[in-house]
């Protein structure tokens, strides 16, 4: 499964993994500014990986 998350507001949003799932081995990721985004893919068990992301106009690597 793949998902795309984008902060379209001027506030901060936090994506939190459900249950025992993790996002790159952490329980959550924060998008702190408007237009920050993450594209995530699941390994179909309990881990989500960041495929791509943009923070404040800079590509996350």
Q: Residue 48 and residue 5: Cα distance in Å, rounded?
A: 13
- Within a 10 A sphere around the Cβ of 52, how many other Cβ atoms? 13
The burial class, CB within 10 Å (0-12 / 13-18 / 19+), for 38 is: buried
**pLDDT score of 2 more than 90:** yes
The stretch 40-57 carries a mean pLDDT of: 89
pLDDT digits (tens, 9 = 90+) for 27-48: 999 999 888 999 999 999 999 9
**pLDDT score of 53 more than 70:** yes
**pLDDT score of 59 more than 80:** no
Domain ranges of the chain: 2-59
The angle formed by the CA atoms of residues 8, 23 and 52, to the nearest 5 degrees, is: 55
Q: What's residue 55's pLDDT?
A: 79
Contact (Cβ atoms closer than 8 angstroms) between residue 49 and residue 40:
yes
As a whole number, the mean pLDDT across the chain is 89
């Amino acid at each position: 499964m793949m998902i795309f998350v984008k902060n379209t507001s001027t506030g901060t949003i936090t994506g939190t993994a459900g249950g025992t799932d993790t996002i790159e081995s952490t329980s959550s990721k924060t998008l702190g500014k408007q237009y920050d985004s993450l594209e995530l893919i699941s390994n179909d068990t309990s881990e989500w990986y960041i495929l791509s992301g943009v923070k404040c106009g800079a590509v996350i690597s």
